[in-house]
Amino acid sequence: MRHFVDISDYSTVELDHLLRLASHLKLEWKSGGNRPVLGGSVLGMIFQKPSLRTRVSFDVAMLHLGGHALYLSPQEIGLGQRESIPDVARVLSGFVQGIMARVFEHGHVKALAQWASVPVINGLSDFSHPCQAMADMLTIQEHFGRIAGLRIAYLGDTNNVTRSLGEAAARLGASLSVASPAGYQFAPDAVAALQGMGLDLMLSEDAVEAVRDADVIYTDTWTSMGQEAESAKRRAVFPPYQVNADLLRQAPSHAVVLHCLPAHRGEEITDEVADGPQSLLFQQAENRLHAQKAILVHLMGGM
Ligand code: CP
Ligand code: NVA
């Protein structure tokens, strides 16, 4: 059984295939609609955290492909509390053809994959956000016509989004410069894992240095879901990493700006940049739909 838990589980050839499939499904949708290749299939969506993009894009993707999606809230499932994860996985596998899960602990989505007899998709964990990375790469591919050889600069907190971005960059031949303050950088094991995948990874505490040769400038919230108690402390440390007009002037003029959203405008990104001519934020958000259609069709439709 194939799952989609981490980008690192996928080869370059498979990721290229998924990106081509995503572009095809996007074009097909925009030319009148997708064929109902997942007709009769149901995706169970387990959410332990809030979501706009992940929830709506998976739901709409299933609808466009002829299937259906079920939203299962934290209160209903009580994953690992009301019922054990192996039991939830096996019960759900009898009802649905695929499971998407947004969890706190990465081990929980891995346990679902271990016990389910249907494909399991990671819709974000504290460790990684692989569906986001696929939409990011689709957006970069659309804009530049290629991914290999590009330099991505990531500014701010090194988190789940950074890790999946790094894994996708490694597999697809882009390089990554991460600028983050001391204490919020990749742990040594994460650096080793990414470099082990062949990633050209540069780490610094200097935002300007990171963006100087960047084709893509990426940022995310300083306080991820589950870290809310630290938000005041984080707001004091991260301002030098804000993606603002001054910083953009230090980057090549062709550089584009990405953000997985939700944005905390005025913190990690300014309105001027988020709504400016170099921003691809809303194309990137829409691409969640198209990238995830490819993942769904690949895993549940055998394409
Ligand atoms: N980018 C992203 O995953 O957004 P949501 O948290 O709204 O799903
Ligand atoms: N790093 C963020 C991403 C949100 C899509 C979080 O985990 O909250």
Statement to judge: residues 235 and 118 lie in one domain: no
Nearest CA to ligand 1 atom 2: 53
Q: Domain range spanning residue 223? A: 132-284
Of the ligands numbered here, which is closest to the C-alpha atom of 154?
Answer: 2
152 lies in a domain? Answer: yes
160-179 pLDDT, tens digit per residue, is 999 999 999 999 999 999 99
Q: Is residue 38 part of a domain?
A: yes
Assess whether the previous peptide bond of 262 is cis (omega < 30° from 0).
yes
Of 179, 50, 32, whose CA–CA distance to 123 is shortest?
50
DSSP 186: P
The ligand 1 site (C-beta within 6 Å) comprises 51-54, 124, 132, 260-262
* 244 and 152 in a common domain: yes
* Distance in Å, CA 183 to ligand 2 centroid: 18
Query: Is there a contact between 70 and 45 (Cβ–Cβ < 8 Å)?
Result: yes
Tell me, what's the pLDDT at 165? 99
Same domain, 149 and 280: yes
Q: Is 230 in the same domain as 260?
A: yes
Q: Please, are residues 297 and 21 in contact by the beta-carbon 8 Å criterion?
A: yes
Is the residue at 267 inside a domain?
A: yes
250 and 231 inside one domain = yes
For ligand 2, say whether the CB of 133 is within 6 Å of any of its atoms.
no
Residues 64 and 137 in one domain: no
Buried b (16+ CB within 10 A) or exposed e, 167-206: bbbbbbebbbbbbbbeebbbeeebbebbeebebebeeeee
Q: Are residues 121 and 235 in the same domain?
A: no
Atom of ligand 1 nearest to the CA of 285: 1
CA 36/CA 68 separation, integer angstroms? 11
Helices of type H across the chain: 12-30, 53-64, 74-77, 85-93, 106-115, 130-144, 160-172, 188-196, 207-211, 231-237, 245-248, 271-274, 281-300
Q: What is the pLDDT of residue 1?
A: 84
Q: Say yes or no: 146 and 265 in one domain.
A: yes
Domain for residue 2, yes or no? no
Same domain, 159 and 118: no
d(CA 203, CA 196): 15
Residues 136 and 280 in one domain: yes
Here the tokens at position 160 are 């789940």
- Predicted pLDDT of residue 75: 87
Q: How many domains does the chain have?
A: 2
172 and 120 co-located in one domain = no
Closest residue by Cα to residue 77 from 112, 114, 41: 112
138 and 194 inside one domain: yes
Q: Does residue 1 lie within any of the structural domains?
A: no
Establish if 170 belongs to a structural domain. Answer: yes
3-class DSSP state for residue 291? Answer: helix
- Kindly report the backbone phi and psi dihedral angles of residue 27, in degrees, each rounded to the nearest multiple of 5, phi listed first: -65, -45
Best of 122, 288, 289, 295 for a ligand 1 pocket test (most atoms within 8 Å of beta carbon): 288
Whichever domain contains 136, its CATH number is 3.40.50.1370
Q: Verify whether ligand 2 is closer than 6 Å to residue 237 (CB atom).
A: no
Q: What is the pLDDT along the chain (303 residues), one digit of tens a residue?
A: 899 999 999 999 999 999 999 999 999 999 999 999 999 999 999 999 999 999 999 999 999 999 999 999 988 888 888 999 999 999 999 999 999 999 999 999 999 999 999 999 999 999 999 999 999 999 999 999 999 999 999 999 999 999 999 999 999 999 999 999 999 999 999 999 999 999 999 999 999 999 999 999 999 999 999 999 999 999 999 999 999 999 999 999 999 999 999 999 999 999 999 999 999 999 999 999 999 999 999 999 988
Active site residues: 102, 129, 132, 220, 260, 288
Residue 14 CB contacts under 8 Å (≥ 6 apart), including other chains: none
Establish if 50 belongs to a structural domain.
yes
